Amino acid sequence: MSAALRLADRASRREALLDAADRIIRRDGPAASMVSIAGEAGITKPILYRHFGDKGGLYAALADRYTGELLAQLQAALEAGRGRRDRVERTVDAYLLAIERQPQVYRFLLDPGVPSAEAAQAQFQVRSFTRRLSMLLAGGIAAEIGVPATRAAAWGHGIVGMVQSAGDWWLETHAVTRTELVQELTDLLFGGYGTS
């Protein structure tokens, strides 16, 4: 077998293992174990370690997959809006919909349930996602309303933090509907606090 075929086969096998891990994470969230993941994949734990190095490596690969998918969904929502408020509503709703549909994935991303040394790689992926999303928002803010880059960056990071924190609260309590929370957060971003 040529080197190119071996690499393609290894990449295909790695994706299949990530698919198996994904099924277990969606079921068990942070409580997912390497034993369960290996069982789902029909292999032994040492084979998982051979492909990912350790649990942290596997979790980092999953976090990269999840955050990449979520960033693409949020970027599409940002680009689909018909005006500033519509884009904000669509983007906040896309985020809340993602965590509502996949609460175990969301919980896994926030706390992968592994020792801090192993979790570092996965947490890096999540922080990287948050920074990329914040800077994406900042770029749009600066271009659309012409504020200085530092102000746009502060606003972008603040918006991401606010929506994430509100999403955490909402996922735990469901005190309001998703539609109501989208409206409340959008109203806040468009001056609701200052006019109440």
- What pLDDT digit, counting tens, does each position of 76-123 carry? 998 887 888 998 999 999 999 999 999 998 888 887 666 666 667 778
5 and 59 in a single domain? The answer is: no
Angle between helix axes 116-145 and 103-110 (nearest 10 degrees) is 110
CA neighbours closer than 13 Å in the CB half-sphere of residue 46: 0
Is 63:125 a contact under the CB 8 Å cutoff?
Answer: yes
8: three-class secondary structure by DSSP: helix
66 and 147 in a single domain? The answer is: yes
48 and 60 in a single domain? The answer is: no
pLDDT at residue 187 tops 80? yes
pLDDT in tens, 1-47: 677 666 678 788 889 999 999 999 999 988 888 899 999 999 999 98
- Given 20, 36, 53, the domain boundary residue is 53
19 and 64 in a single domain? The answer is: no
* Cα separation, 185 vs 188, whole angstroms: 5
Q: Which amino acid is it at 64?
A: D
48 and 66 in a single domain? The answer is: no
The encoded tokens of residue 146 equal 């012409």
Closest CA to 62 of 104, 108, 120: 108
155 and 79 in a single domain? The answer is: yes
Give the pLDDT score at 29. 86
Give the pLDDT score at 192. 67
40 and 67 in a single domain? The answer is: no
pTM of the model: 0.84
- Give how many domains the chain has, as a whole number: 2
- Domain range for 33 is 1-53
CATH number for 164? 1.10.357.10
